[in-house]
């Protein structure tokens, strides 16, 4: 009997096949025709797959968080998991910023960054509304609007309120509890089915990215992309290995092996939110407590963006040098603070980090139009940063899970 290939192997094969097909399209068919072919005939299948994942995001986040909270059994445990999770997210994001700044400054001081001039094209950036109005906007005034707009922070708040209230209602909340866990079981089945299709999504997206972006576009920005990727690799190898070894009590190799399917998936889709179902499978297969991963992962896919933080720091130093601004130490501290906050505010969707980058630039008085210089290659930055974002969520879930389990065992 033939042995069936496991999903991670299929994803890996799809990734390599996508790169090969993309290269063939680019070099042998010609960038224009090959690019148009992948855009018109391959990418749509990737889009269908991504649409299916996106439609799952709101129900998965909502149900998995409510189910996670309810299964934890008491609000004290939810609070303890929540605090650890948020502290982990904040600490690793700040470390990511520092790593990003160090790597970028090494490149900048060695005069490795190209100096490009802004060509006058304009770029619409996102606007930071101020801390208080951001805070107000986290709380939904209309539940359905939060769902239909996929406003994930609001969905998380709704989940926390519902989960907490079901617990508080005690015996009377039993039916609501059963309904949530039954719906969640159904959504999990659906997720399993859609994830089974992921090699198609990975293959078509990779072929499209390679065929349309080709080596030319990387051109003189290759060095900046390399700089960001060095930051990504340093952060994941150092921070997640240490976290796996000392906080989660597992070997770094086992950790990366377990997280691999989600990492490849994030790399090719550039969306933490869409990768959520895959991250959940990986994390649970690594032995994390499903209740805890149900709580930590959706939160992480919304607020924990280590890769985005590194990218924003590297891009800021690069664009500052293009604008002729030399960043002082004080300004670097400002970059750490704003990049950490803007990474938290970044949605887990493709390209969101680029929009939020404008917030960091504005805080340094660098015109946001400079973002235009890296716009064309953003996808290449995005693939790596999303991969890191997702790995960070998984690292946090296994760590918090182990900590909570040890606490329970002690009792
Ligand atoms: N694409 C990233 C993510 O989904 C967000 C970003 O653009 O930085 O995690």
**For the domain that residue 101 is a member of, what is the CATH number?**
1.10.3860.10
252 found inside a domain = yes
Residues 6+ apart with CB under 8 A from 217: 376, 377
Q: What is the mean pLDDT of residues 257-275?
A: 90
State residue 174's pLDDT score: 94
Q: What's residue 180's pLDDT?
A: 92
Average pLDDT over residues 150-173: 89
Asked whether 386 and 266 are in contact (CB, 8 A), the reply is yes
Q: Which atom of ligand 1 is nearest to the CA of 273?
A: 4
From ligand 1's centre to the CA of 4, what distance in Å?
Answer: 33
- d(CA 9, CA 15) in angstroms, rounded, equals 10
How far away, in angstroms, is 345 Cα from ligand 1 center?
A: 11
Position in ligand 1 atom list of the atom nearest CA 301 = 9
Name the residue at shortest CA distance from atom 8 of ligand 1: 353
Residue 283 reports pLDDT greater than 90: yes
pLDDT digits (tens, 9 = 90+) for 27-84: 888 778 888 888 899 999 988 987 887 788 788 888 888 988 888 888 888 888 999 9
* Overall average pLDDT of the 75-100 stretch: 92
Q: Residue 375 has what pLDDT?
A: 78
Judged against a pLDDT cut of 80, whether residue 391 lies above it is answered with: yes
For residue 389, which atom of ligand 1 is closest to its CA? 9
Q: What is the pLDDT of residue 129?
A: 64
CA angle centred on 238, ends 234 and 240, rounded to 5°: 110
Distance from the alpha carbon of residue 169 to the mean position of ligand 1, in angstroms: 37
How far, in Å, from the CA of 235 to the mean position of ligand 1? 16
**Reduced to 3 states, what is the DSSP secondary structure of residue 255?**
helix
Whether 2 is covered by a domain: the verdict is: no
| pLDDT value at residue 107 | 94
Give the other-Cβ count within 10 Å of 301's Cβ.
Answer: 28
Residue 307 CA: which ligand 1 atom is closest? 8
The mean-pLDDT minimum among 4-8, 132-136, 217-221, 319-323 falls in 217-221
Q: How confident is the model at residue 126 (pLDDT cuts 50, 70, 90)?
A: low
- Rounded Cα–Cα distance for residues 196 and 7 (Å): 7
- Residue 382: its pLDDT value, please? 92
pTM higher than the cut 0.85: no
How close is the Cα of 30 to the center of ligand 1, in Å? 30
Q: Hey, whose CA ends up nearest to atom 3 of ligand 1?
A: 348
The answer as to whether 1 is a domain residue is: no
**346 CA to centre of ligand 1 in angstroms:** 7
| Residue that has been written with the tokens 């605090």 in this structure | 83
Query: What is the pLDDT confidence band of residue 120, given thresholds at 50, 70 and 90?
Result: low
Cα separation, 211 vs 333, whole angstroms: 39
Structural domain contains residue 131: yes
Q: Is residue 33 part of a domain?
A: yes
Whether the pLDDT of residue 215 is over 80: the answer is no
Question: Is residue 360 in some structural domain?
Answer: yes
> Pocket residues for ligand 1 (CB within 6 Å)?
270-272, 305, 308, 346, 348-353, 382, 385-386, 389
Residue 86's pLDDT is 92
Domain hosting 291: range is 7-410
Determine which residue's CA is closest to atom 6 belonging to ligand 1: 353
225 in a structural domain: yes
pLDDT band at 209 (very low <50, low <70, confident <90, very high): confident
Mean pLDDT across the chain: 87
Q: Are 210 and 18 contacting, i.e. CB atoms less than 8 angstroms apart? A: yes
The ligand 1 atom nearest the CA atom of 272: 4
**pLDDT confidence bin for 185, thresholds 50/70/90:** confident
* Residue-level pLDDT at 384: 95
Q: Does residue 1 surpass a pLDDT of 60?
A: no
Residue 275 lies in a domain: yes
Domain count, the chain: 1
Q: Please state the rounded mean pLDDT for residues 362-367.
A: 85
Mean pLDDT of 85-94: 94
């Amino acid at each position: 009997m033939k042995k069936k290939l496991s999903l991670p192997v299929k994803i890996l094969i799809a990734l390599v096949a996508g790169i090969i097909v993309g290269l063939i399209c680019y070099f042998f068919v010609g960038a224009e025709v090959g690019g148009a072919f992948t855009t018109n005939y391959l990418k749509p299948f990737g889009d269908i797959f991504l649409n299916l994942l996106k439609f799952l995001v709101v129900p998965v986040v909502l149900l998995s968080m409510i189910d996670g909270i309810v299964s934890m059994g008491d609000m004290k445990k939810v609070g303890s998991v929540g605090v650890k999770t948020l502290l982990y997210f904040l600490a690793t994001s700040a470390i990511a910023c520092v790593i990003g700044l160090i790597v970028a400054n090494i490149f900048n001081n060695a005069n490795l960054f190209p100096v490009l001039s802004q060509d006058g094209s304009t770029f619409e950036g996102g606007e930071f509304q101020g801390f208080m109005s951001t805070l107000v906007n986290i709380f939904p005034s209309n539940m359905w609007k939060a769902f239909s707009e996929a406003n994930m922070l609001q969905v998380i708040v709704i989940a926390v309120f519902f989960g907490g209230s079901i617990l508080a209602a005690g015996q009377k909340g039993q039916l609501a509890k059963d309904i949530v866990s039954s719906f969640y079981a159904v959504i999990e089945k659906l997720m399993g089915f859609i994830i089974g299709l992921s090699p198609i999504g990975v293959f078509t997206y990779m072929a499209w990215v390679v065929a349309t972006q080709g080596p030319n576009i990387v051109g003189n920005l290759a060095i900046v992309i390399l700089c960001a990727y060095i930051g990504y690799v340093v952060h994941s190898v150092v921070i997640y290995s240490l976290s796996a070894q000392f906080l989660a009590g597992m070997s770094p190799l086992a950790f990366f092996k377990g997280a691999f399917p989600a990492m490849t998936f994030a790399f090719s889709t550039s969306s933490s939110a869409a990768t959520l179902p895959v991250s959940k499978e990986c994390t649970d297969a690594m032995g994390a407590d499903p209740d805890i991963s149900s709580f930590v992962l959706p939160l992480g896919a919304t607020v924990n963006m280590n890769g985005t933080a590194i990218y924003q720091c590297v891009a800021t130093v690069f664009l500052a040098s293009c604008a002729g601004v030399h960043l002082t130490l004080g300004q670097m501290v400002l970059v750490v603070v704003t990049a950490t906050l803007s990474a938290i505010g970044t949605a887990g969707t493709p390209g969101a980090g680029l929009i939020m980058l404008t917030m960091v630039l504005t805080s340094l008085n660098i015109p946001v139009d400079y973002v235009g210089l890296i716009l064309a290659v953003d996808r290449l930055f995005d693939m790596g940063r999303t991969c890191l974002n997702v790995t960070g969520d998984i690292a946090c879930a296994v760590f918090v899970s182990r900590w909570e389990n040890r606490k329970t065992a002690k009792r």
